């Protein structure tokens, strides 16, 4: 190689160095002096893709200096996917400092899912307290109790994508409170020791199953005594039975009155028959006298017998209305 060729190559190399320095004034040099070397051709590739090379390289430098195992290609791909590279890097740094197991791919997936990755990592470091609404149900002795619980939770990064949110945790805890109160034989047991509910629910792993959180503790914050539903139901049942009994009694009284009226009607019918039969007696006596079947003496003897019998009954105190006095009067007419 002659001297002219060497000089030409040196000039071209110098020009390329000048061009690179002009195009990448601080990004490549800063990465170089920070100990996180980034090849120039990768920086050029980022520029060709019309991405923010400065932001990408600075995020890479910050991550590597904080001990995050990440590559410039991962940051570049995440930026190209319209992800928030700064939030991902900050979350990974916080996870490393907080000794939280967080993979870079998991952090990027959480960010691309639309969730706040920095808030998720903060939720792992600093647990959050949520509270249920007042839950009312009845113990076995019929007394109503109203309880509220505070739930201490922290994010679970592995289940954050596709996991159930706070509303599900609150609903499951509320359901558990209803079950615990409903199983209690006496409401005084829970009033004396309300942490029975918290201990029972904390041991139930179904509450945090398939959710984005880990339940640290469940504590009953408030419990109140409500109505005595059992007594109210007993009173209502007694009133219902009373109304039913009164209705049955009224039905029987009405039936008895109807039977009494029917018997009176039958009595009147029988008396009418007796009266009709007695009305035929004078005619029979007259016919017997005409035919000579009985004599006058026999007739008056019969009248004396009837009068004597009536007198004996009056002396004995027997009512004459029941002995049908009509024949006597008709006999006198005859």
- The per-residue pLDDT for 68 is 78
Exposure letters 175-189 (e unless 16+ CB within 10 A, then b): ebbeebbeebeebee
Among the listed residues 269, 279, 287, the one whose alpha carbon sits nearest the alpha carbon of residue 329? 279
Domains and CATH numbers, the chain: 3-125 (no CATH), 128-231 (3.30.479.30), 295-334 (no CATH)
Which residues are bridge partners to 224 per DSSP?
146
* CA–CA dist 80, 144 (Å, integer): 59
- The per-residue pLDDT for 66 is 78
Q: How large a percentage of the chain has pLDDT more than 90?
A: 8
Q: Could you tell me the pTM of the whole model?
A: 0.56
319: pLDDT confidence band, cut at 50, 70 and 90?
Answer: very low
Among the listed residues 80, 82, 63, the one whose alpha carbon sits nearest the alpha carbon of residue 71? 63
Three-state SS at 206: coil
pLDDT at residue 19 tops 70:
no
Say how many C-beta atoms besides its own lie within 10 A of residue 72's C-beta: 23
Q: Is the dihedral of CA 330, 332, 333, 334 positive or negative?
A: positive
> Is 138 within 8 Å of 144 (Cβ atoms)?
yes
Among the listed residues 109, 71, 67, the one whose alpha carbon sits nearest the alpha carbon of residue 88? 109
Instruction: Please give the residue that has the higher pLDDT: either 245 or 9.
Output: 245
- The per-residue pLDDT for 314 is 86
229: pLDDT confidence band, cut at 50, 70 and 90?
Answer: confident
120: pLDDT confidence band, cut at 50, 70 and 90?
Answer: confident
273 Cα distance to chain centroid: 75
- The per-residue pLDDT for 323 is 43
> Poorest-confidence range of 40-44, 129-133, 174-178, 264-268?
40-44
* CA–CA dist 86, 88 (Å, integer): 5
- Which residue reads 């969730």 in tokens? 115
pLDDT at residue 321 tops 60:
no
Q: What is the DSSP letter of 81?
A: T
- The per-residue pLDDT for 326 is 44
C-alpha count within 13 angstroms, C-beta hemisphere, residue 249: 6
Instruction: Please give the residue that has the higher pLDDT: either 320 or 246.
Output: 246
Three-state SS at 34: coil
Greatest mean pLDDT among 73-87, 247-261, 274-288, 303-317 lies in 247-261
Across 148-177, average pLDDT = 86
pLDDT at residue 221 tops 80:
yes
- The per-residue pLDDT for 27 is 64
> Is 164 within 8 Å of 144 (Cβ atoms)?
no
Across 82-104, average pLDDT = 81
pLDDT at residue 324 tops 50:
no
> Is 121 within 8 Å of 146 (Cβ atoms)?
no
pLDDT at residue 204 tops 60:
yes
- The per-residue pLDDT for 249 is 92
- The per-residue pLDDT for 20 is 59
292: pLDDT confidence band, cut at 50, 70 and 90?
Answer: confident
Opening angle at CA 241, ends 237 and 242, nearest 5: 115
Q: What is the mean pLDDT of the chain?
A: 80
> Is 30 within 8 Å of 24 (Cβ atoms)?
no
- Which residue reads 């209305």 in tokens? 321
78: pLDDT confidence band, cut at 50, 70 and 90?
Answer: confident
Opening angle at CA 229, ends 227 and 233, nearest 5: 145
Burial class of residue 172 (count of CB atoms within 10 Å of its CB; 0-12, 13-18, 19+) = buried
Q: Where are the alpha helices (DSSP H) in the chain?
A: 3-23, 27-33, 40-48, 53-65, 72-80, 85-97, 104-112, 117-125, 166-183, 187-192, 195-202, 229-291, 296-316, 326-333
Across 252-264, average pLDDT = 90
Q: What is the pLDDT of residues 40-69, one digit of tens each?
A: 777 777 777 777 777 888 888 888 877 778
Nearby residues of 178 by Cβ (< 8 Å), 6 or more positions away? 135, 137
- The per-residue pLDDT for 1 is 56
Nearby residues of 28 by Cβ (< 8 Å), 6 or more positions away? 20, 38, 40, 43, 57
Instruction: Please give the residue that has the higher pLDDT: either 262 or 297.
Output: 262
- The per-residue pLDDT for 35 is 65
pLDDT at residue 139 tops 70:
yes
């Amino acid at each position: 190689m002659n001297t002219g060729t060497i000089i030409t190559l040196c000039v071209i190399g110098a020009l390329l160095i000048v061009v690179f320095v002009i195009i990448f004034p601080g990004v490549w040099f800063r990465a170089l002096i920070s100990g996180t070397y980034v090849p120039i051709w990768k920086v050029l590739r980022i520029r060709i893709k019309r991405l923010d090379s400065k932001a990408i390289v600075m995020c890479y430098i910050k991550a590597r200096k904080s001990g995050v195992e990440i590559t410039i290609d991962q940051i570049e791909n995440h930026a190209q996917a319209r992800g928030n590279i700064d939030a991902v890097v900050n979350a990974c740094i916080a996870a490393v400092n907080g000794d939280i197991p967080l993979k870079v791919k998991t952090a990027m997936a959480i960010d691309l899912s639309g969730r706040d990755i920095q808030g998720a990592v903060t939720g792992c470091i600093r647990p959050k307290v949520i509270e249920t609404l007042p839950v009312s149900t009845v113990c076995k002795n019929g007394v109503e109790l109203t309880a509220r619980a505070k739930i201490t939770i922290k994010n679970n990064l592995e289940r954050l994508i596709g996991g159930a949110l706070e509303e599900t945790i609150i609903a499951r805890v509320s359901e558990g409170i209803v079950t615990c109160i409903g199983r209690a034989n006496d409401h005084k047991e829970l009033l004396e020791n309300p942490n029975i509910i918290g201990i029972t629910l904390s041991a139930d792993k179904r509450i945090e199953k398939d959710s984005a959180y880990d339940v640290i503790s469940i504590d009953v914050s408030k419990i109140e005594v409500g109505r005595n539903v059992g007594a109210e139901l007993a009173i209502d049942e007694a009133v219902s039975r009373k109304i039913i009994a009164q209705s049955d009694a009224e039905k029987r009284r009405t039936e008895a009155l109807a039977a009494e009226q029917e018997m009176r009607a039958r009595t009147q019918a029988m008396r009418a028959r007796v009266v009709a039969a007695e009305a035929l007696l004078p005619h029979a006596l007259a016919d017997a006298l005409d035919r000579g079947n009985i004599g006058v003496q026999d007739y008056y003897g019969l009248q004396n017998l009837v009068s004597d019998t009536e007198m004996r009954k009056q002396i004995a105190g027997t009512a004459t209305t029941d002995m049908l006095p009509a024949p006597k009067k008709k006999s006198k007419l005859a």
